[in-house]
Amino acid sequence: MKRVFLFLAINSIFIAQVQADWFIRGSQNNWAAEQMVDIGNNTMLANDVVFNTDGEMKFDRYGNWVESYGDNGNNIAVSTGTWDIEFYTDSHDWAILPSSTHNDTSDSATYHFRGTPNDWAEGSLLTQVDSSNDYQICIEFGSGDVNGTARFKIDKNGGWGGGSFPDADVSVAEGFALITVDSTTDSISSVTEGLDETCNSTISTTDFRNRTIYFVFLDRFSNGDTSNDNGNNASATSSIGSSGDIGEWKKYWGGDIQGLINKLDYLQNLGVTAIWVNPLNDNVDNSESAGAYHGYWGRDFYEVDEHLGSWDLVDELDAAMEARGMKLVLDFAPNHSSQNDKYEYGAIYKEGVFQADESSSLWFHQNGAISDCFDNDDNTTCGEEWSDSWAYQNKTLFNLTDFNHGVNSNSVSDLYLIEAAKKWLAHGVDAFRIDAIKHIEPNFINRFTAEMRAVNPDVYIFGEWMDAGASDAESMTFLSEERGSELLDFNLRDNIENVIADNISMTELNTHIESRPAAMGNREDWQTIFLDNHDATRTSVYLQTTGTVNRSRQGKGYSQAFANARQNLGMALVMTLPGIPTIYYGTEQNTTWFTANGDNEVGHDPYNREQIPSFSETSPAFTLIKSLANLRKTSSALAKGSYQQRWLNDDVLVFERQEGSDTVVVAVNKGSATSISVTSLGLADGTYTSLTGSDLVEISNGSASLHLDQNEVIVLHK
Give min distance, CB of 223 to Ca ion, in A. Answer: 5
Indicate which residue of 331, 388, 402, 464 is catalytic: 464
Beta carbon nearer to Ca ion, 115 or 254: 254
Beta carbon nearer to Ca ion, 317 or 624: 317
CA separation for the pair 554, 214 (Å, rounded)? 28
Give min distance, CB of 429 to Ca ion, in A. Answer: 6
Beta carbon nearer to Ca ion, 7 or 386: 386
Name the nearest CA neighbour of 219 among 619, 538, 585, 590.
Answer: 585
* Amino acid (one-letter) located at 532: D
Beta carbon nearer to Ca ion, 427 or 707: 427
Report helix, strand or coil for 259. helix
Burial 683-704 (b: 16+ CB within 10 A, else e): beeeebebbbeebebebeeeeb
Give min distance, CB of 305 to Ca ion, in A. Answer: 5
Report helix, strand or coil for 15. helix
**Under 8 Å between Cβ of 470 and 515:** yes
Beta carbon nearer to Ca ion, 180 or 228: 228
DSSP assignment letter at 199: S
Give min distance, CB of 682 to Ca ion, in A. Answer: 35
Name the nearest CA neighbour of 404 among 336, 314, 489, 327.
Answer: 336
**Under 8 Å between Cβ of 605 and 249:** no
546-550 contact pairs (CB < 8 A, 24+): 547/594, 547/596, 547/600, 547/602, 548/596, 548/600, 548/601, 548/602, 549/601, 549/602, 549/603, 549/604, 550/601, 550/604, 550/605
* Burial (CB count <10 Å: 0-12, 13-18, 19+), residue 669: buried
**Under 8 Å between Cβ of 490 and 466:** yes
User: What is the bridge-based pairing of β-strands 686-689 and 696-699?
Assistant: antiparallel
Query: What's the helix, strand, coil split of the chain in %, to 5?
Result: 25, 30, 45
Beta carbon nearer to Ca ion, 118 or 281: 281
Give min distance, CB of 267 to Ca ion, in A. Answer: 14
Report helix, strand or coil for 463. strand
Report helix, strand or coil for 4. coil
DSSP assignment letter at 123: -
Q: In the complex, which residues of this chain contact Ca ion (CB under 5 A)? A: 223, 225, 228-229, 254, 256, 282-283, 285, 305, 318, 328, 335, 402, 428, 430, 439
Sign for the pseudo-dihedral over CA of 158, 161, 166, 172: positive
User: In which element (H, E) is residue 513 found?
Assistant: helix 506-519
Give min distance, CB of 328 to Ca ion, in A. Answer: 5
Report helix, strand or coil for 467. coil
Give min distance, CB of 354 to Ca ion, in A. Answer: 14
**Under 8 Å between Cβ of 464 and 435:** yes
Give min distance, CB of 230 to Ca ion, in A. Answer: 9
CB-nearest residue to Ca ion: 428
Longest dimension (CA), the chain: 107
CA separation for the pair 256, 217 (Å, rounded)? 9
Beta carbon nearer to Ca ion, 402 or 451: 402
Indicate which residue of 435, 451, 524, 610 is catalytic: 435
Beta carbon nearer to Ca ion, 285 or 508: 285
Give min distance, CB of 275 to Ca ion, in A. Answer: 10
Please confirm, yes or no, whether 303 is among the known catalytic residues.
no
- Counted residue by residue, the chain has a size of 718
Beta carbon nearer to Ca ion, 339 or 592: 339
Beta carbon nearer to Ca ion, 106 or 335: 335
Name the nearest CA neighbour of 180 among 106, 111, 107.
Answer: 111
Report helix, strand or coil for 201. strand
Give min distance, CB of 461 to Ca ion, in A. Answer: 14
Please confirm, yes or no, whether 464 is among the known catalytic residues.
yes
**Active-site residues: which are they?**
435, 464
